[in-house]
Amino acid sequence: MKIPREHYSPSMLAMEQISRMSSSERMETMELLGQSFANEGIDYPSPDWHGKVLAERSEIIDSGKATWLSVDELQVRLRLL
């Protein structure tokens, strides 16, 4: 059963639009949202999982097992998403 468009909430419409974006478009949108917060001086805390991921990555770097991409390699990888 399809929901009539007039019954959609703004968040449902946004989710529908987001689901049609490519991965790179979604990443660009997240960056723009973050920049809008920064421009307005809005401070928001990072989620707990973010600190854990950063700690894990720091351990990999400190152990010497990290691998790095050049900017060109990263751009190619992002285009493939």
**In degrees rounded to 5, what are phi and psi of residue 69?**
-110, 145
Low-confidence spans in the chain with pLDDT less than 70? 1-8
Q: Per residue in 10-31, pLDDT tens?
A: 777 788 889 999 999 999 999 9
SS3 68: coil
What pLDDT, on the 0 to 100 scale, is given for residue 10? 72
What pLDDT, on the 0 to 100 scale, is given for residue 81? 76
Residue 22 and residue 81 in contact, taking contact as beta carbons nearer than 8 Å? yes
Model pTM? 0.47
Domain ranges of the chain: 1-44, 45-81
